[in-house]
Amino acid sequence: MKAVIFDLDGTLIDSAPDIHAAVNLTLAEIGAARIDLRQVKSFIGNGVGVLIEKVRAARGLTLPQPEVLERFMRHYNANPATLTTLYPNVRATLELLTAQGTALGVCTNKPEGPTREILAAFDLTRFFSAVVGGDTLTARKPDPAPLAYAVAALNRPTTAYVGDSEVDAETAQRAALPFAIFSQGYRKTPISELPHDASFDDFAELPAVLDRLMPVPA
Q: What is the CATH number of domain 2-14+84-213?
A: 3.40.50.1000
| CATH 3.40.50.1000 residue spans of the chain | 2-14+84-213
Alpha-carbon gap, residue 83 to 90, rounded angstroms: 17
Q: What is the predicted pLDDT for the residue at 125?
A: 98
What pLDDT is stored for residue 216 in this prediction?
Answer: 75
The answer to whether the predicted template modeling score (pTM) of the entire model surpasses 0.75 is yes
User: Are 49 and 66 in contact, with CB atoms under 8 Å apart?
Assistant: no
Whole-number pLDDT of residue 204: 98
Q: What is the pLDDT of residue 179?
A: 98
Contacts of 37 (CB under 8 A, 6+ apart): 16, 17, 20
pLDDT digits (tens, 9 = 90+) for 48-59: 999 999 999 999
**Fold (topology level) of 16-78:** DNA polymerase; domain 1 (1.10.150)
6 neighbors 107 (Cβ within 8 angstroms):
yes
Q: What proportion of the chain, given as a percentage, has pLDDT over 70? A: 99
Alpha-carbon distance of 200 to 140, in angstroms, equals: 25
pLDDT at 218 over 60: no
Q: Tell me, what's the pLDDT at 217?
A: 67
Mean pLDDT of the chain: 96
Q: What is the pLDDT of residues 61-87, one digit of tens each?
A: 999 999 999 999 999 999 899 999 999
Q: Residue 61 has what pLDDT? A: 96
CA atoms within 13 Å, Cβ hemisphere of 74:
10
The rounded percent of the chain whose pLDDT value lies above 90 is 96
- DSSP summary character for residue 198: E
pLDDT at residue 185 is higher than 90:
yes
Residues with catalytic roles = 7
Cα 207 to Cα 115, 183, 203: the distances in Å are: 24, 16, 8
Per-residue model confidence as pLDDT tens digits over 84-119? 999 999 999 999 999 999 999 999 999 999 999 999
pLDDT above 90: residue 30: yes
CB 176 within 8 A of CB 21: no
pLDDT bin (cut points 50, 70, 90) of residue 150 is very high
Confidence of residue 171 (pLDDT cuts 50, 70, 90): very high
Check whether 6 has a pLDDT greater than 70: yes
Helix H or strand E segment including 159: strand 158-163
pLDDT at 79: 85
Specify the DSSP class assigned to residue 87.
P
CATH 1.10.150.240: which residues of the chain?
16-78
Summarize the confidence of residues 154-178 as an average pLDDT. Answer: 98
